[in-house]
Structure 1
């Protein structure tokens, strides 16, 4: 074997490694109960405890007392140097009434979702570029007889 065939094999190996690095990789996150387990839940009969016994504890619960159970599963694709992209998302929402009995079971996909823009709300303070010592000493003349606790 000559140097020419060695270079050719090395070039083919480098090409295979380069093409292999460009393959998409997938990452799964979360859990959605299978259909056969969901079929065992009866609306109007099952309670929070029986739902947890049947399909397991939820990944997320509602914020308000008596809120629903949410099971979320997503699949993310990473491709080379690009930012990861969510290609699949499923959300299973189990709602309960005030007595803790199942009132509804809904399923949502990525196509049903909406992007919620996060806003940053900053409360303005009444302090305007004054040092702590200046703020402290500035209040000395403002204390009246009623402010002394008498």
Structure 2
């Protein structure tokens, strides 16, 4: 092989490696959805035990109100050195009555996701802003002895 062909192959190989390095990486997170199993949950037929046997334990359960199991699934895509972005998102909410029977199985997607934009790097709080020195020395003289204080 001559030198120009080797150089051409090296350039093509380097370009192929660079192109694959910039492609998005897909990462499934949470519950892995199996459409057949999800569709097999039937209101009025299934109960907690059959749902746990079919779908497994939920991602989390409701703590208040009607008993609901949530199966949360997301697929993120990210490019190297970039923050991941949600590409797909779904939540299966299985609601039960007091007897433990399935009342409904509702599925929601990206249309129900709330995107929040933080306001700066700090969480705003009520009250007065104090400097480091005020935090450090602010209680000097404020602490009194037991039995000695205002109104005694």
Structure-2-length-normalised TM-score: 0.72
Structure 1 segments, 4+ long, off by >4 Å, are 116-121
How many residues were matched structurally?
A: 143
Where structure 1 has 5 or more consecutive residues not aligned to the other structure, the ranges are 145-150
In the superposition, relative to structure 1, how do residues 101 and 92 fare at CA in structure 2: closer, same or farther (>3 Å)?
Answer: same
Partner Cα separation in structure 2 for residue 2 and residue 39 of structure 1: 61
Q: Which has the larger radius of gyration?
A: 1
Bigger fraction of residues in helix: 1
Equivalent residue for 1:133? 140
How many Å separate the matches in 2 of 1:124 and 1:54?
A: 51
Residue aligning to 1:122: 125
Structure 2 portions without partners, runs of 5+: none
The aligned counterpart of 1:48 is: 48
How much is the aligned-residue C-alpha RMSD, in angstroms?
3.1
Give the TM-score taking structure 1 as reference length.
0.73
CA contact (8 A) 2:27 2:77 kept: yes
Aligned counterparts of 1:56 and 1:84: Cα–Cα separation in 2: 27
Provide the secondary structure at the position in 2 that maps to 1:142. coil
